[in-house]
Chain A
Amino acid sequence: MALLQTIALTAHYGDFQALFGVDIEVSEHETIAIIGANGAGKTTLMRSIAGVLKNAAGAVRFDGVDVGTLPAEEIVTQGVAMVPEGRKLFPSLSVEENLLIGAYGRKGGGYWTLDAIYDLFPILGDRRHNPGTALSGGQQQMVAIGRALMSNPRVLLCDEISLGLAPVVIKDIYRAVPKIKKSGASLIVVEQDIAQALAVADRVYCMMEGRVTLTGRPESLNRDAIHDAYFGASK
């Protein structure tokens, strides 16, 4: 059974409809990637699941329970944490405080502690007392991931974690993914970089204009099909 699923999920910004009946699901220990061009609705989908946007009742189910109408602060307590697009570190907080605040909504113990995060990203341990925003882009992204992990999520939503980073830094960050999977979390990774998405995911969803246009295992998808799902069929 799916650990987290969306059922005919729609989303609006005022009069503008951003999502048109999106169905995705992720199972326990599974990693899925969501790819698509700018404006396809990937970030909106993440924000809807995380509870930042209001959803209809029944549109999001987590662990067999309807969580569609819960606010963000309760979604994270349930076990779904998000690494938001653009990292969104708290400028008034140090690196360590940014990580600690990630545990604010956490219930009980679990794998992820400060030490476990510093083990995952050793550079953060060296810079723990710096202001979060004094770090390089890649290090800030590590803080944002660590901060989300501190809630011990069962599902981790990663929104464009490679955005604006150098390829070598992206590799550093994705090196953490297997360890995160080993901790027992399922991942939903939003990616612009198709190769990266295919490499990391068990299944891939491709979105265009607020709809899912292609789904499958990475090895079953050929480049033409992805191209069509990405930009519309080339007739």
Chain B
Amino acid sequence: MIWVDTIAQGVLLGGLYALFAAGLSLVFGIMRLVNLAHGDLIVMGAYLILLLVTLLGLPPFLAAAVAMPLMFCIGWCLQKFLLNRTLGDDILPPLLVTFGLSIALQNALLEGFSADSQRLPTNAMTTASFQAGPISLGVMPLLTFGSAVLVIIGLNQLFYRTELGRAFRATSDDATTASLMGIKPANIFAAATGIALVIVTIAALYLGLRANFDPNVGPARLIYAFEAVIIGGLGSLWGTLAGGIIIGVAQTVGAAINPEWQILSGHIAFLLVLLVRPRGLFPRAHD
């Protein structure tokens, strides 16, 4: 019966990884841009929330809500004024630029906030848990998972129900023809990165509430996010959630067998999926 509990914890942990990954998946799906600074942007979001909590005395959830529009603007400007210039037929410039951005962000955070590890303040509610049969469920993991599902549903609604979503898909299919429709690809990409950073803020909130963070934890978050995106199939949002869950379950099962195996078994699950389905579980029909 302990296994049921282990797997349930893994699924919930997968929600966190899906949150890490959703923004990455969104940006890659629309403009084939692999953002190597994604993990550091999550950490930056966590520090922004922390700043709002300490300076304004806001509770973390409210602080995250305040941070979202700020992060949207940061994402919009980042794409419009920096990353758009790197997009083109060559895939190397965006990798180099976002890699450089990753290092710059880590050092800027180190300079501004020191290497001390931080966490967002929690209260009784966020550390509570309850028993459901053999499974004990934490309120915080449940909230995380619920948020991940809501983010994926929200993104799907955005993609398939709105004019902006139509423009996202059309630009992703063929940016030149999209411009013939009156769509400005540069602005569409900027909006996409803006939205990705709103999701990053949500991921940052749970990162900061659930664990300690310091300026150097970004790249590890990036690895989990990457693995979730690739397991799910590049550009597939539900696939990203599935990918997060697979890594989460693999990690908790591995840790139950031997605590040393937690991280390793997540990576092994990733490699196994790649071995069997090189394009991921839910690849797009066309690319």
Most buried by A among B163, B178, B181, B183: B181
The chain A residue sitting closest to B159, CB to CB, is: A92
User: Given A93-B166, A97-B166, A100-B166, are A105 and B172 also a contact pair (CB < 8 Å)?
Assistant: no
Asked if B169 lies at the interface with its beta carbon under 8 angstroms from chain A, I say yes
Bound Cα distance A147, B180 (Å): 10
Cross-chain contact B182 with A105 (CB below 8 angstroms): yes
Interface size class of B (residues with CB under 8 A): 10 to 19
Q: Which A residues between 171 and 214 are near B, CB-CB below 8 angstroms? A: none
Most buried by A among B170, B177, B180, B182: B180
Cross-chain contact B180 with A90 (CB below 8 angstroms): no
Cross-chain contact A151 with B179 (CB below 8 angstroms): no
Asked if A50 lies at the interface with its beta carbon under 8 angstroms from chain B, I say yes
Most buried by A among B163, B174, B177, B178: B177
Asked if A88 lies at the interface with its beta carbon under 8 angstroms from chain B, I say yes
Give the 5 A-B residue pairs with the shortest CB-CB distance, closest first.
A105-B182, A72-B179, A92-B169, A88-B177, A90-B173
Cross-chain contact B173 with A104 (CB below 8 angstroms): no
Partner of A90, one of B169, B182, B184, B285: B169
Q: How far is the CB of A52 from chain B (nearest CB, A)?
A: 6
Q: Could you write out 8 A-B pairs with CB less than 8 Å apart? A: A51-B179, A71-B179, A72-B180, A90-B170, A101-B166, A101-B183, A104-B167, A148-B180
Asked if B127 lies at the interface with its beta carbon under 8 angstroms from chain A, I say no
Partner of A73, one of B169, B173, B184, B286: B184
Q: Which residues of B contact A76 (CB under 8 A)?
A: 180-182
Asked if B176 lies at the interface with its beta carbon under 8 angstroms from chain A, I say yes
- Residue-wise interface mask of A (91-106) relative to B, using a CB-CB cutoff of 8 A (1 in contact, 0 not): 1110001001110111
**Which residues of B does A touch, CB under 8 Å?**
163, 166-167, 169-170, 172-174, 176-184, 285-286
Q: Which residues of A contact B174 (CB under 8 A)?
A: 88, 90
Which of A24-32, A77-85, A116-124, A218-226 contacts its partner?
A77-85
Q: Which residues of A contact B170 (CB under 8 A)?
A: 90, 92-93, 101
User: Given A91-B173, A92-B172, are A73 and B166 also a contact pair (CB < 8 Å)?
Assistant: no
Cross-chain contact A101 with B176 (CB below 8 angstroms): no
Q: Please give the number of chain A residues whose Cβ is less than 8 angstroms from any Cβ of chain B in the complex.
A: 27
Cross-chain contact A82 with B180 (CB below 8 angstroms): yes
Q: How far is the CB of B114 from chain A (nearest CB, A)?
A: 46
The chain B residue sitting closest to A82, CB to CB, is: B180
Most buried by B among A71, A84, A97, A104: A104
Q: Which residues of A contact B176 (CB under 8 A)?
A: 52, 72
Cross-chain contact A73 with B183 (CB below 8 angstroms): yes
Cross-chain contact B179 with A73 (CB below 8 angstroms): yes
The chain A residue sitting closest to B285, CB to CB, is: A91
Q: Which A residues between 140 and 166 are near B, CB-CB below 8 angstroms? A: 147-148, 151
Q: Which residues of B contact A106 (CB under 8 A)?
A: 182
Cross-chain contact B167 with A90 (CB below 8 angstroms): no
Q: How far is the CB of A77 from chain B (nearest CB, A)?
A: 5
The chain A residue sitting closest to B177, CB to CB, is: A88
Q: How far is the CB of B46 from chain A (nearest CB, A)?
A: 34
Cross-chain contact A104 with B183 (CB below 8 angstroms): yes
Bound Cα distance A91, B178 (Å): 12
Partner of B177, one of A51, A84, A92: A84
Q: How far is the CB of A110 from chain B (nearest CB, A)?
A: 14
Bound Cα distance A92, B286 (Å): 9
Bound Cα distance A119, B180 (Å): 24
Bound Cα distance A88, B167 (Å): 15
The chain B residue sitting closest to A83, CB to CB, is: B180
The chain B residue sitting closest to A88, CB to CB, is: B177
- Residue-wise interface mask of A (128-141) relative to B, using a CB-CB cutoff of 8 A (1 in contact, 0 not): 00000000000000
Q: How far is the CB of A220 from chain B (nearest CB, A)?
A: 34
Q: Which residues of A contact B285 (CB under 8 A)?
A: 91
Cross-chain contact A84 with B180 (CB below 8 angstroms): yes
Cross-chain contact A101 with B173 (CB below 8 angstroms): no
The chain B residue sitting closest to A74, CB to CB, is: B182
Q: Which residues of B contact A73 (CB under 8 A)?
A: 179-184
Q: How far is the CB of B194 from chain A (nearest CB, A)?
A: 19
Bound Cα distance A211, B112 (Å): 63
Q: Which A residues between 39 and 93 are near B, CB-CB below 8 angstroms? A: 50-52, 71-74, 76-77, 81-82, 84, 88, 90-93
Cross-chain contact B167 with A101 (CB below 8 angstroms): yes
